[in-house]
């Protein structure tokens, strides 16, 4: 019999939506290429000519990359980290000495002050040697203490914590709980005001870096009371504070070297001076931090694609089948073409998004989310194709290959390590919903009251008038555009012609916007339940963004005399592959099994098909599906193990 979970917090669906909506950035103060794309407006001028870093940023970035490469080649043994399931102390000490903990921290606090572009290049480099080391650095800087303090911290907090984060201290981000994932409205960890302190109680799950961290960013709910607005609030917490227990170091199918755990807080006192931002702003701080923080995952995905391409090229030229290299057999060659073209596109999306983040001219919240979504999905597919190309050797571990005298290629490890990226920092399903919400923001801004059951008739009337004006101007622009003119985007017509792909993007963006409008008209308030439809809409937008980035990058490389012809070939191949995927997605917008799937799911949950489960033995045993996270003192030994201790 499963033990009951006693700490579960129950909220209504509407309450959960309200919490999520309140945490969103409400305004669009800067243009967004991706937002315009979903509205049917192909604003190529926002990304072309491709933005470039200044010379000093390049000099400092390349200098650090050279030092980091030398360190990785001499000191980081990815096979040992995989074998021992931990990053050696000397590796972390070396990273601290290099300044790798402070890549994005301003030099005045002891950091390197690298741009987002070079920070991502560094993560791709180190992640190619050991994804676990990449995860350590990313969790510390992208979502740990440095980024939220950089954006929302007081000067006193920056002075106190950023120098430590730049050189000596590792940080972690603690939001998820045993019964709370992507639904923060049910957050159970509390921070109760008590004089000049807050007292934290609760349990946090999947705390990447949490086992070894010195500093924690903790999200906790402050009860509303006199003088306290309350709400989900962010705190910087010393990991050595009394009452903190790391109860377990978690183990996973991949990323075996990461220090991810379960952390319990029992009557932990945190000074009010350590609160980041006002009460109730914690979730907004977390989401805003992730606007650029999400770019760290596609950075390592792009690096993985490069490695997959290298191994596929070398192996497929060496391995012969039926009298010729396997690469020359179409069944294998198509996989290699997919890996090469997709790697080019992933790097294009990453570099474009990163440079736009550095320049701060555009709002990139959708671009960064698309990069994370697209990068994590496509990198997984590339690794899967590499395993298939390698055949039995792809399924065999690197250690086993080495033991019998062959090159130790960790293809199966790459597949395992990449799998988490489709879940980390917003699962693919959650990213679909998040991006879809931003993509339809303009529609909800003008017509949202029409479908809100709580709005009065007068509110609906005003919304109807407002929507009529907006759509009278917007809808006619979706009928025709530059994509129908044969000479449009002529600067992309070289030995290989990319102009046709950009015209296709422009036409398809308008078609995408028309499809979205039709769906909203058809389903109205039920639109948010059509998650299959929304996911396909987002996936189409991701392909269009990637096609645009690939073409713009190819033209940049051509204009600079850097493999321009080859870049155009790769962009052409990618766009042709992407157009096929887009056609399939459009077909599935209206021809799918979504309604039937819902009926089957109800039958599964209702027990109608339990007979189908007969004839097996379930090895998972007994125990609760979700561990009890009732607040209280820990009964377990502290598993915290700081590096070098």
Catalytic site residue 425?
yes
Copy the structure tokens of residue 312.
Answer: 């596929």
> CA 110 to CA 166: how far, in whole Å?
6
The structure tokens 């906790």 sit at: 220
* Coil/strand/helix, residue 77: coil
C-alpha angle 208-61-422 in degrees, rounded to nearest 5: 35
**420, 377 in Cβ contact below 8 A?**
no
218 phi, psi to nearest 5 deg: -120, 130
| Residue 276: CB atoms within 10 Å | 24
Q: Are 316 and 326 in contact (CB under 8 A)?
A: yes
Cα separation, 644 vs 214, whole angstroms:
12
Q: How many CB atoms lie under 10 A from the CB of residue 34? A: 29
Beta bridge partners of 116: none
CA distances for 398 relative to 130, 217, 297, 306, 411, angstroms: 14, 37, 24, 19, 8
Give the Cα separation of 101 and 165 in Å (integer): 7
Exposed, middle or buried: residue 609 (CB in 10 Å: 0-12, 13-18, 19+)? exposed
Distance CA 449, CA 467 (A): 10
Burial track 442-468 (b if 16+ CB lie within 10 A, e otherwise): bbbebbebbbeeeeeeeeeeebeeebe
Q: Is 280 helix (H, G, I), strand (E, B) or coil?
A: coil
Tokens of residue 5, six digits: 């979970």
394 near 408, Cβ under 8 Å?
no
* Residue-wise burial string across 518-537, b where 16 or more C-beta atoms lie within 10 A, e elsewhere: ebbeeeeeebeebebbbbbb
Which residue, 177, 131, 82, is CA-closest to 420? 131
Q: Residue 586 CA to chain centroid, in angstroms?
A: 24
Helices (H), 280-364: 282-293, 296-318, 330-359
Catalytic residue among 177, 412, 425, 506: 425
H or E element that contains 114: none
User: Whose CA is closest to 220, among 205, 238, 207, 233?
Assistant: 233
Question: Which residues does the annotation mark as catalytic?
Answer: 425
């Amino acid at each position: 019999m499963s033990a009951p979970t006693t700490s579960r917090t129950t909220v209504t669906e509407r309450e959960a939506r309200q919490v999520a909506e309140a945490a969103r950035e409400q305004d669009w103060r800067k243009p967004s290429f991706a937002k315009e794309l979903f509205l049917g407006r192909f604003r190529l001028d926002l990304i072309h000519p491709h933005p470039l870093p200044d010379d000093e940023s390049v000099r400092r970035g390349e200098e650090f990359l050279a030092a980091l490469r030398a360190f990785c080649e001499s000191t980081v043994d990815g096979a040992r980290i995989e074998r021992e399931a931990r990053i050696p102390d000397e590796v972390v000490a070396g990273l601290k000495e290099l300044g790798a903990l402070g890549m994005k921290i301003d030099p005045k606090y002891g950091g390197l002050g690298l741009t987002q572009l070079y920070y991502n290049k560094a993560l791709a480099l180190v992640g190619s040697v050991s994804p676990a080391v990449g995860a350590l650095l990313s969790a510390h800087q992208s979502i740990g203490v440095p980024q939220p303090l950089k954006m929302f911290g007081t000067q006193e907090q920056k002075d106190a914590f950023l120098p430590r984060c730049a050189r000596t201290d590792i940080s972690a981000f603690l939001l998820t709980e045993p019964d709370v994932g992507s639904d923060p409205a049910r957050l159970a960890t509390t921070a109760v005001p008590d004089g000049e302190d807050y007292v934290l109680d609760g349990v946090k799950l999947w705390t990447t870096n949490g086992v070894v961290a010195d500093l924690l960013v903790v999200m906790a709910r402050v009860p509303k009371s006199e003088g306290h607005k309350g709400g989900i609030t962010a705190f910087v917490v010393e990991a050595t504070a009394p009452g903190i227990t790391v109860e377990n170091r978690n183990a996973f199918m991949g990323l075996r070297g990461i220090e991810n755990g379960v952390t319990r807080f029992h009557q932990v006192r945190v000074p009010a001076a350590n609160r980041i931002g006002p009460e109730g702003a914690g979730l907004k701080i977390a989401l805003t931090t992730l606007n650029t923080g999400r770019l760290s995952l596609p950075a390592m995905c792009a690096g993985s694609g490069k490695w997959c391409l290298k191994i596929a090229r070398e192996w497929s030229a060496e391995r012969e089948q039926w009298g010729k290299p396997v690469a020359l057999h179409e069944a294998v060659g198509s996989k290699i073409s997919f890996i090469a073209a997709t790697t080019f596109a992933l790097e294009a999306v990453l570099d474009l998004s990163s440079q736009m983040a550095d320049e701060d001219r555009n709002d990139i919240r959708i671009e960064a989310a698309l990069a994370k979504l697209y990068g994590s999905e496509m990198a997984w597919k590339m690794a899967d194709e590499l395993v298939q190309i390698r055949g039995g050797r792809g399924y065999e571990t690197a250690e086993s290959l080495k033991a019998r005298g062959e090159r130790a290629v960790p293809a199966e490890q790459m597949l395992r390590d990449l799998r988490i990226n489709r879940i980390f920092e917003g699962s693919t399903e959650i990213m679909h919903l998040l991006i879809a919400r931003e993509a339809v923001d303009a529609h909800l801004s003008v017509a949202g009251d029409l479908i809100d059951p709580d709005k009065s008739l007068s509110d609906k009337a005003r919304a109807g008038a407002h929507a009529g004006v907006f759509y009278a101007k917007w809808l006619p622009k979706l009928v025709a555009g530059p994509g129908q003119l044969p000479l449009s985007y002529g600067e992309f017509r070289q030995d290989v012609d990319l102009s046709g792909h950009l015209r296709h993007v422009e036409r398809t963006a308008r078609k995408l916007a028309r499809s979205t409008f039709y769906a909203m008209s058809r389903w109205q308030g039920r639109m948010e339940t059509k998650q299959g439809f929304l996911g396909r809409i987002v996936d189409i937008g991701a392909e269009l963004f990637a096609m645009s980035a690939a073409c713009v990058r190819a033209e940049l490389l051509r204009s600079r005399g850097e493999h321009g012809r080859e870049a155009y070939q790769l962009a052409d191949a990618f766009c042709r592959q992407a157009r096929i995927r887009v056609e399939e997605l459009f077909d599935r917008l209206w021809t799918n099994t979504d309604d039937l799937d819902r009926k089957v799911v109800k039958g599964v949950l209702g027990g109608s098909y339990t007979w189908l489960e007969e004839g097996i033995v379930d090895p998972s045993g007994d125990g609760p599906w979700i561990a009890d996270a009732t607040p209280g003192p820990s009964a377990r030994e502290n598993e915290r193990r700081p590096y070098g201790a």
